[in-house]
Structure 1
Amino acid sequence: MKTAFFFFALILSTSFTASYAQTAEEIISKYLTAMGGGEKLSKLEGIKMSAKVNQGGMDIPLEIYNLKDGRQMTSINFQGKTLKQGVFDGKDLWGTNFMTMKAEKSDAEATAMFKTSLGDFPDPFLDYGTKGYKVELVGKETVEGTETFKIKLTKKPYTIEGKTEENVSFYFFDAEDFIPILVESEVKVGPAKGQISQITMSDYQEVDGLFFPFALGQGVKGAGSQPIVITKIELNPQVDPKEFVFTEEK
């Protein structure tokens, strides 16, 4: 029926743009509705995801925390030890160095880049206009057999090595369900600089009236991805604030 509708609209329209029958703003509105609604999302205070990744045939458990005030953390349980990555306590960004097994702060540039996304919880598209973000419908694109709307999201720019760099991501929304199945962005720093980061999302499930992907994949375009299986999602979890605080190790 959807295909027939678009075909009929194309016949009636004298404008190529109208054949999309959607605008970027409409797509984002339908996306937020499909996820459970902007009102419910705005009331979230935090999300805890229990997950696992497979490395060398071994399932490694993770706990991922994202809080409304910007604090976040990924806690990894590996061989009886707890390792932390991507921890932000409201001021410092830090994580465990896998070589020294000690906590280390990220440099000022990485911390500043991270802070450009503060306020994105629980979703960068929620009230995106008030954040100064811009959305643009690039067009339609087929992703692994699924027809999608490709949306360009432009956020606050980065400052890297003293130069202003654009902060752009491309979201691919399923054209029928209006849920994102792929996010692409250019890697700006590190060994993969210049390559395209890809995050895939699938197996959406309901949690207390909101919908979240329970299957994720993260990697670099053309080089495969690391699958992450979400086993449980808790909304508004109780978290000890001390878990986020950087502790100098000697």
Structure 2
Amino acid sequence: MNILKSLIVALIIAIIAPTQAQTADEIIDTYLENTGGKENWKKLTGTKMVAQVNQGGMVIPVTIYSGNKGEQAVVIELQGKTMTQFAFDGETMWSTNFMTMKAEKSDKETTDNMKLSSNDFPNPFIDYKEKGYTVEYLGKETKEGAETFKVQLTMEPVSVNGVESPSISYYYFETENYVPILIETTQGDNKTSITMSDYQEVDGLYFPFSMSQGPQPIEIKEIVLNPEIEAGLFAFPAEK
């Protein structure tokens, strides 16, 4: 009797599992289609986002650059000066020390973790299986006042204080338009939460123009697709 019961349970799991996996894929496919189409997303070579951050009542202009080889740079205007707050050229990650105003390279662990996300532009869900990622549909939840589909994305493990840790993100897709309105990411003991809203069309693709990480709101003013980027923007500055 116990053997028969175990077989029935195993059969139910075998039937449900692919259904859930397919449901996750359907949500992702609909999301990509609704925001411009997978093939159009894959044609992107880079983005430039002109934004502003409100920090303690002080508005700081920010420009965020991203490239299709993992390059990233965040350039800010502060007290009349323009400086690169953070940059990554695919190999070297660095930032500006606001005390000395000099560029400093990030440590090896931080840089290696950054390299893992180099193939995630413009979206980690695109060709996720080829990247070795997995997805799982976890049901519906109410987030930010809206009904959402909760999808778990498991990526390559990262190193946290020398210990390999899972890298798991929970995406909450609003059920009406199938766009994510919240991302919760866990890497070891580090947890981050990003909310997204005000999706707008830019040359056929849809982007959130309002985002917030914790209490830090980011308002996007303009997004440029496939921009011309100054040579050397991402590279660690040569010593003078």
| TM-score bracket, shorter-length normalisation | 0.7 to 0.9
1:122-201 residue pairs with structure 2 within 5 A? 122-186=122-186, 188=188, 194=189, 196-201=191-196
Equivalent pair of 1:102/1:249 in contact (CA under 8 Å)? no
Aligned to 1:230: 220
**1:207 is the counterpart of 2:202:** yes
Distance 1:81 1:187 in 2: 34
Within 1, Cα distance between the matches of 2:207 and 2:43? 16
Shift of 1:114: 0.7
Q: Does the CA contact (< 8 Å) of 1:154 and 1:167 recur in 2? A: yes
Matches within 5 A, 1:1-250: 23-186=23-186, 188=188, 194=189, 196-219=191-214, 225-248=215-238
- d(CA) in 1 for partners of 2:106 and 2:205? 33
Shift of 1:187: 5.0
The offset of 1:19, in angstroms, is 11
CA shift in 2, pair 1:16/1:133, >3 Å: closer
Identity %: 52
Aligned equivalent of 2:5 = none
Residue in 2 that maps onto 1:12 = none
Task: Give the partner amino acid of 1:70.
Answer: G
In structure 1, how many angstroms separate the alpha carbons of the residues matched to 2:67 and 2:144? 33
Q: Give deviations 1:187-228, integer Å, cap 9, x for gaps.
A: 54xxxxx35311000000000000000000012xxxxx2100
**Quick one: distance in 1 between partners of 2:74 and 2:53?**
12
SS at match of 2:197: strand
Q: In the TM superposition, what whole-angstrom CA distance separates every residue of 1:55-86 from its partner, at most 9, and x where no partner exists?
A: 23221100000011211100001112122233
CA distance in structure 1 between the partners assigned to 2:181 and 2:226 by the alignment:
25
Letter in 2 for 1:217: S
Residues 18, 143 of structure 1: CA spacing in aligned structure 2 closer, same or farther, 3 A cutoff?
Answer: farther
Partner SS, residue 120 of structure 2: coil
Aligned CA RMSD, in angstroms, stands at 2.2
What is the alpha-carbon distance in structure 2 between the residues aligned to residue 214 and residue 130 of structure 1? 29
1:230 Cα offset (Å): 0.1
Q: What do residues 7-48 of structure 1 show as CA deviations (whole Å, max 9, x unaligned)?
A: xxxxxxxx999999x710100000000110001000000000
> What is the deviation of 1:248?
5.0
TM-score using structure 2 length = 0.88
1:92-148 Cα offsets, whole Å, 9 max, x none, are 000111222211110000001111111100000011111111000111110122000
Which position in structure 1 is the counterpart of 2:12? none
Gaps of at least 5 residues in structure 2 are 1-14
TM, length-normalised to structure 1: 0.85
